[in-house]
Amino acid sequence: MINDILDDARDRMHKSLEALDRDLGAIRTGRANPALVEHISVNYGGGEYSIQQLAQITTPEARLLVIQPWDPKSIAIIEKAILASDLGITPNNDGKVIRLAMPPLTEERRKDLVRVLRKRVEEAKVAVRNVRRDAQEKIRRLEKDGSASQDESHRSQDQLQKLTDDTVHQVDASSKRKEEEVMAI
């Protein structure tokens, strides 16, 4: 029973880490990255789709994203969605593909992005701690009900703390990598 609780906590912490990596991938750096536009939703054919579902996204150059829609009729809709997003880049549409040229970031914009990055990292840490708290409560309930001994409870809580520390360390490592990427000129 305790192993199930620890496995569930490990899985939920891993998902929090994956969500952080997805969020950090969407933060713009000086380099073109398909993750910048993959999350943008487009209202097409009566449904909401991500750009990734409607087009091929490539990076032929370090500062250029090329979006080639599967359906040429959707190009104007995708362009409007990019303009409406918080990306801050004006798309160039030649009728077949959309090109997004990544302008170099100013020092002030880099610092703003680092602030956003740190906020998302802190949210991820809070999510990991919430998972730990939930698992601790379940373990304490098992101990109180008599389903687990006091020794098992303390041992599992130690394992849970080690798992939390490892996950927070991975969150910090992801944060540091992305922060260096954002601040690189």
pLDDT of 105 over the 80 cut: no
Gap between the Cα atoms of 176 and 61, Å rounded: 25
pLDDT, tens digit, for every residue of 22-53?
888 777 666 777 877 887 888 887 888 888 88
**91 and 83 in contact (C-beta within 8 Å)?**
yes
CA distances from 165 to 19, 88, 170 (A): 18, 36, 9
User: Residues 119-141: what's their mean pLDDT?
Assistant: 93
Question: Which architecture does CATH list for 2-25+106-183?
Answer: Orthogonal Bundle (1.10)
User: Residues 115-134: what's their mean pLDDT?
Assistant: 93
Q: Burial code of 46-73, b = ≥16 C-beta within 10 A, e = fewer?
A: eeebebeebbebebeeeeebbbebeeee
pLDDT of 64 over the 80 cut: yes
- pLDDT at position 126: 95
Confidence of residue 158 (pLDDT cuts 50, 70, 90): very high
**45 and 79 in contact (C-beta within 8 Å)?**
no
Percent of the chain with pLDDT over 90: 29
- pLDDT at position 95: 84
Let me know how long the chain is.
185
**54 and 45 in contact (C-beta within 8 Å)?**
no
Residue extent(s) of CATH 1.10.132.20 domains in the chain: 2-25+106-183
User: Residues 14-29: what's their mean pLDDT?
Assistant: 84
pLDDT, tens digit, for every residue of 78-94?
888 888 887 777 888 88
Question: Which architecture does CATH list for 35-101?
Answer: 2-Layer Sandwich (3.30)
- pLDDT at position 12: 94
Instruction: Tell me how far the alpha carbon of residue 97 is from its chain's centroid.
Output: 27
Residue extent(s) of CATH 3.30.1360.40 domains in the chain: 35-101
